[in-house]
Amino acid sequence: MKKEYLVLDKVEGALIELSKVHAVGYGEIVEVENNLGEKKLGRVIKIDGDKVVVQVFGSTLGHSVENTKVSFEGRPFEIPLSKDILGRTFNGIGIPIDNGGDIYADNFYNVNGRPINPVSREYPRDYIQTGISSIDGLITLIRGQKLPIFSGSGLPHNELAAQIVRQAKIKVKGQERNNFSIVFAAIGVKHDEAFFFKEAFKKAGVQNKVVMYINYADDPIMERIIAPRAALTAAEYLAFEENQHVLVIMTDITSYGEALREVSSLREEVPSRRGYPGYLYSDLASLYERAGMLKDREGSVTLIPILTMPNDDITHPIPDLTGYITEGQIVLSRELHQKNIYPPINVLPSLSRLMKDGIGEGYTRVDHPDVSNQLFSAYSKVQDIRALAQIVGEEDLSDKDKKYMEFGDAFEEKFVTQKYNENRDMENTLDLSWNILSLLPKEELDRLDPTLIEKYMK
């Protein structure tokens, strides 16, 4: 029988404390009810003697130490999952908010999941064609990868994510696969952003393959901590039990980090950098590391978290720690955005760690590794020459440097720039690369194998 506790010791922000509690489990789910009969969920985050600290999902407005009933459920935070979740929308703690009724399932899944045994992982090697040249050519996305988008407020990261969802083609050993689905986790987003994604999924005709977990910016902070976990639990279920290739889009990780900081400071924990808790790294890792593939299953979880860098600062703890965990990053640049270039991807700090094993002969095309290498090194040189041109003037540059300037402009305007609804396949992207590289003098192409130059340079 469930025991109810009627007296609290303390209410502070979203944390409540009560004492004389027995036989309660760490991480256990709690139901909190006020005198108006409103019920909220919470979770045990600390047990100290007979005292228990509970984190409440939702506001503690109107709760006093006397008018609150607390009952312990005796189970960890679990959500029911079945194939019926496809096409549905839930709030941050997995309760349907689309008037579609409850999910009935035999199996409940702990939102915290369990770490994948590294021995069971399959190393990801098959690429996902996004139809976006700068990504496919230079930051190739691999199925089972975790590749975040580092953005800033006001930059078109949502458009980019929507375009990836719309155009993504999964190929397994050259064969296109259709068993893909999308899990979308919105963490502290504005209502219009969530609306944008809903519309985008509808337009792409994938709304029946999408599961949405939405925590709006004005929803309880505590739910933000559960939302990505619920979404990833759903993704793992779809991938490893229903054999789906799942693309998980998560926005905005910065809001998640801030929620974590808020809870940490409520708990009076020792802060590390910029007030974030010392366990920010392992906490973020417990999300990101859930992406991947397993040797004995067909499905995969590919994760694209989006985060807005506060003040465009890539060394801020959230992008910084994210970069240490994820397998690369796609960095958007305000400068390119101001130049009216879409998508404003700055390829130089961007990176896909898994691409080395997923491109080239047998995967994309034989020239891909050399071409991407050459584009990177040439474009990085363009930056130096532009800096020089600012000082000495473009007129006084050497002929070679002028060629580089020309190459730089073409790279940004023809290669990086493409329309929101423009879908370039891999062949196209690589041909375009050769086209632009041909602007450079031949002796500058030191990363290209001469036989490839002969074959592809027109």
Partner 1 sequence: MDNLIGKISMINGPVILGEEMTGFKMREMVLVGEKKLIGEIISIDGEYGTVQVYEETEGLKRGEKIVSTGKPLSLKLGPGMLGNMFDGIQRPLKKIRDDFGSFIPEGIGLISIDEEKLWEVSINVKLGDYLKEGEIFGTVQETSLINHKLLVPVGLEGRVITVIKNGKYNIEEKLVELEDREGNKHSLKMYQEWPVRISRPTKERLPITKLLATGQRVLDIFFPIAKGGTAAIPGGFGTGKTMTQHQLAKWSDADIIIYIGCGERGNEMTEVLEDFPELIDPKTGKAIMERTVLIANTSNMPVAAREASIYTGITMAEYFRDMGYHVAIMADSTSRWAEALREISGRLEEMPAEEGYPAYLPSRLAQFYERAGYVKSLSGNEGSVTIIGAVSPAGGDFSEPVTENTKRFVNVFLGLDRELAYSRHYPAINWLNSYSGYMEMLKNYYEMELNEEVEGLRGKMLRLLFEESRLLEIVLLVGEDVLPDDQRLILEIARVIKIGFLQQNAFHKEDTYVPLRKQLEMLKTIDLLYERGLQSVKKNIPISKVRNGELYDEVIKMKYSIPNDNIEKIEELKNMINDFYNKLELDYSK
Determine if 24 is a binding residue for partner 1 (CB under 8 A): yes
Least distance CB 57 / partner 1 (angstroms): 17
Determine if 315 is a binding residue for partner 1 (CB under 8 A): yes
Determine if 428 is a binding residue for partner 1 (CB under 8 A): no
Determine if 238 is a binding residue for partner 1 (CB under 8 A): no
Least distance CB 29 / partner 1 (angstroms): 11
Q: 277 has which bridge partners? A: 271
Please tell me the count of residues contacting partner 1 according to CB under 8 A.
84
Give the whole-angstrom CA distance, residue 88 versus residue 95: 10
Of the candidates 256, 280, 266, 276, the one whose C-alpha atom is nearest the C-alpha of residue 14 is 266
Near partner 1 by CB under 8 A: residue from 42, 228, 323, 408: 323
Determine if 266 is a binding residue for partner 1 (CB under 8 A): no
Near partner 1 by CB under 8 A: residue from 85, 235, 309, 351: 351
Tell me how far CA of residue 42 lies from CA of 12, 15, 125, 274, in angstroms: 14, 9, 41, 27
Determine if 48 is a binding residue for partner 1 (CB under 8 A): yes
Least distance CB 192 / partner 1 (angstroms): 32
CB hemisphere CA count around 398 (13 angstroms): 4
Determine if 451 is a binding residue for partner 1 (CB under 8 A): no
Helix pair 399-410, 426-437: axis angle to 10 deg: 160
Give the whole-angstrom CA distance, residue 150 versus residue 347: 12
Tell me which residues in 181-220 interact with partner 1 (CB under 8 A). Answer: none
Q: 55-87: b or e for each residue (b if 16 or more CB lie within 10 Å)?
A: bbbbebeebeeeebbbebbeebbbbebeeebbb
Give the whole-angstrom CA distance, residue 183 versus residue 242: 14
CB atoms near residue 307 (< 10 Å):
25
Least distance CB 272 / partner 1 (angstroms): 4
176 or 443: CB nearest partner 1: 443
Give the whole-angstrom CA distance, residue 284 versus residue 269: 18
Determine if 148 is a binding residue for partner 1 (CB under 8 A): no
Question: In angstroms, how far is CA 178 from the centroid of its own chain?
Answer: 22
Least distance CB 114 / partner 1 (angstroms): 4
Tell me which residues in 162-181 interact with partner 1 (CB under 8 A). Answer: none
Determine if 398 is a binding residue for partner 1 (CB under 8 A): yes
Of the candidates 323, 314, 246, 311, the one whose C-alpha atom is nearest the C-alpha of residue 285 is 323
Least distance CB 288 / partner 1 (angstroms): 8
Least distance CB 270 / partner 1 (angstroms): 4
**115-123, 167-175, 337-345, 418-426 -> range binding partner 1 (CB under 8 A):** 115-123
Tell me how far CA of residue 180 lies from CA of 242, 245, 247, 293, 422, in angstroms: 10, 4, 8, 14, 21
Determine if 290 is a binding residue for partner 1 (CB under 8 A): yes
Near partner 1 by CB under 8 A: residue from 9, 38, 122, 422: 122
353 or 403: CB nearest partner 1: 353
Least distance CB 281 / partner 1 (angstroms): 6
Give the whole-angstrom CA distance, residue 159 versus residue 153: 13
**177-185, 266-274, 332-340, 413-421 -> range binding partner 1 (CB under 8 A):** 266-274
CB atoms near residue 446 (< 10 Å):
10
Secondary structure (DSSP) of 402-439: HHHHHHHHHIIIIII---TT----HHHHHHHHHHHHTT
99 or 117: CB nearest partner 1: 117
Least distance CB 90 / partner 1 (angstroms): 22
Determine if 387 is a binding residue for partner 1 (CB under 8 A): yes
Q: Which helix (H) or strand (E) is 285 found in, with range?
A: helix 280-288
Fill in the per-residue mask, 70 to 89: x = in contact with partner 1 (CB under 8 A), - = not in contact. Answer: ------x-------------
Near partner 1 by CB under 8 A: residue from 153, 377, 421, 451: 377
**29-37, 43-51, 203-211, 406-414 -> range binding partner 1 (CB under 8 A):** 43-51
CB hemisphere CA count around 63 (13 angstroms): 28
Least distance CB 361 / partner 1 (angstroms): 12
CB atoms near residue 43 (< 10 Å):
21
Tell me how far CA of residue 297 lies from CA of 121, 238, 300, 373, in angstroms: 10, 11, 8, 34
335 or 422: CB nearest partner 1: 335
**23-31, 166-174, 192-200, 216-224 -> range binding partner 1 (CB under 8 A):** 23-31
54 or 206: CB nearest partner 1: 54
Question: Tokens 């404390």, residue?
Answer: 17
